[in-house]
Amino acid sequence: MTNLRTLYHPAMYDPAPVPSYWEATAPGDDPGWAPLEGDAECDVAVIGGGYTGLSTALHLARDHGVDVAVLEAGDRIGWGASGRNGGFCCMPATKLSVAQMTKRYGPEETRRFFASQIEGIEFTRALIADNDIDCDPRGDGIFEVAHRPRAVGELKEYGETLGRLFGIETTLYGAEEFRGIGHDSAEQFGALKVSPSFALHPLKFARGLARTASAAGARLHPGSLVTRWLREGGRHLLTTARGALRAKRVVVAANGYLRERLHRDFDARILPVISNIVTTRPLTSGELAAQSWKTDCPLVNTRRLLFYYRMLPDNRLMLGARGDLTGAPADGERMRAWMAKRVAEVFPAWRDVEIDHFWRGFVCISRRLAPSVGRLEDDSSVFYGFGYHANGVNTAPWTGRKIAAMAAGKESPEALPAVIRGLPARFPLPALRLKYLAAAYRWYAFKDD
């Protein structure tokens, strides 16, 4: 068996479902979804049962008539980032500024990237509507909230850039205006609304997408971590704990949960980053009024080490933040305590409101600071999509459709925007990736003060 390598504490890779609010409120897996047993074959094997893998499987089976099987490491479909994220369907899936992207790829490819991001939001919305997926969609945009006064000018400039270059609808609000339509807080000095964007229940969406793919003929296998990958007789052989799958083509869709030493072409390409989420107990109407809370839209603030937050349908505040460089359970408890403290500081009227859920998962970062989609140059039977930089709800389902078309021979990777096309560069001295992240956190914290 291959000795797979991971960066964080083993607790971060435990295949059991995390005790999240999403798990507590989503329907379970279909009884027909079982671990891979014995020997099996398919045309296309997909490694990863999240948004990318499920969308790939759906479109391969339904649109192209391809025999496809999905191997998911976790004990349940949507176990990874697709079932743990904040449920923000927004853009862009990059950490590059517009200026950086334009300098690196040119204005036309930058426009194509943003067009794909808008298309991704509308595509996710259409997947929900067309397949009757019950996942609680809410809001008609996302608010980027200025956490200090001088950030308002930065938001104004950003909104003008989005409108002028890409035709994206934005509206800037001063602090008093936003208090009337959004909320008040100790770190609210105005906000920029960006549309189209919305929020949803991420695990309900993942499992609804899985049911749609399964109904189209895709085979779904949770509890099936791929531990070995060989080329054998012109086919790929993927080994799991209880079975082996032979396939003509393989799609790598594991994002930040991909183990290294599985396939050399993917080693040292990603940096998984821990994102942490808390939810409060349901807030009363009086408590909501105390912070002037009025919006159903998702929100982020302008910190580099940002908060992302929203009000859930049952009036619980959900708040997420980056942090923790180990993944150890004790460090998770420290993150939970720190986040509870920050909720009380940012929303002082809620200082005594209990936190009732806490969970963690990975955001996938790469050196290109944008998604990576395509086909291996040295093996045209291997496809991939990963590195959504905390915007996978938007980009991953769209990516899955693109991968399906490529794997079916209907589209070329060259048609993708240059911003996302091909593999990212490897991290130098990859064993030091968490030290790079620690240095970035220190710098961001300094800049946020």
Instruction: Kindly report whether the peptide bond that precedes residue 92 is cis, defined as omega within 30 degrees of 0.
Output: yes
Q: What is the 3-state secondary structure (H, E, C) of 103-170?
A: HHHCHHHHHHHHHHHHHHHHHHHHHHHHCCCCCCCECCCEEEECCCCCHHHHHHHHHHHHHHHHCCEE
Of 171, 89, 167, 88, nearest to 122 (Cα)?
89
Mean pLDDT of 418-441: 95
The pLDDT of residue 3 is 64
Nearest-angstrom CA–CA distance, 399 and 388: 10
Nearest-angstrom CA–CA distance, 389 and 371: 7
Nearest-angstrom CA–CA distance, 47 and 52: 10
Mean pLDDT of 244-270: 97
Can you give the length of the chain in residues?
A: 449
Nearest-angstrom CA–CA distance, 270 and 95: 14
The pLDDT of residue 28 is 86
| Residue 25: strand, helix, or coil | helix
Nearest-angstrom CA–CA distance, 321 and 362: 12
Contact between 136 and 313 (Cβ < 8 Å): yes
The pLDDT of residue 1 is 40
Residue 170 lies in a domain: no
Q: What is the CATH number of the domain that holds 209?
A: 3.50.50.60
The pLDDT of residue 233 is 85
The pLDDT of residue 312 is 98
Instruction: Kindly report whether the peptide bond that precedes residue 196 is cis, defined as omega within 30 degrees of 0.
Output: yes
The parent domain of residue 383 ranges over 17-85+203-267+369-425
End-to-end CA distance of the chain: 48
Find the helix or strand (DSSP H, E) in which 231 lies.
strand 228-232
Task: Name the CA dihedral angle for 329, 330, 331, 333, rounded to a multiple of 10 degrees.
Answer: 90
Residue 57 lies in a domain: yes
Residue 440 lies in a domain: no
More confident residue, 304 or 105: 105
DSSP label at 414?
Answer: G
Q: Give CA angle at 307 (306, 309), nearest 5°.
A: 145
Cα four-point dihedral sign 318, 321, 326, 330: negative
Residue 378 lies in a domain: yes
Complete DSSP assignment for 273-317:
EEEEEEEEPPPPHHHHHHTT----S-EEES-SS-EEEEE-TTS-E
Residue 402 lies in a domain: yes
Contact between 359 and 20 (Cβ < 8 Å): yes
The amino acid present at 104, given as its one-letter code, is R
What band does 449 get if pLDDT is binned at 50, 70 and 90?
Answer: confident
Q: What is the mean pLDDT of the chain?
A: 96
Residue 209 lies in a domain: yes
Helix axes 202-215 and 107-130, enclosed angle (nearest 10): 80
Nearest-angstrom CA–CA distance, 180 and 106: 40
Residue 415 lies in a domain: yes
Instruction: Kindly report the pTM of this predicted structure.
Output: 0.96
The answer to whether residue 2 scores a pLDDT higher than 80 is no
- The structural domain count of the chain equals 1
pLDDT tens digits along 88-120: 999 999 999 999 999 999 999 999 999 999 999
Residue 136 lies in a domain: no
Which residues, in sequence order, are CB contacts of 202 under 8 Å at separation 6+?
A: 22, 78, 82, 83, 84, 85, 86, 87, 135, 393
pLDDT tens digits along 159-201: 999 999 999 999 999 999 999 999 999 999 999 999 999 999 9
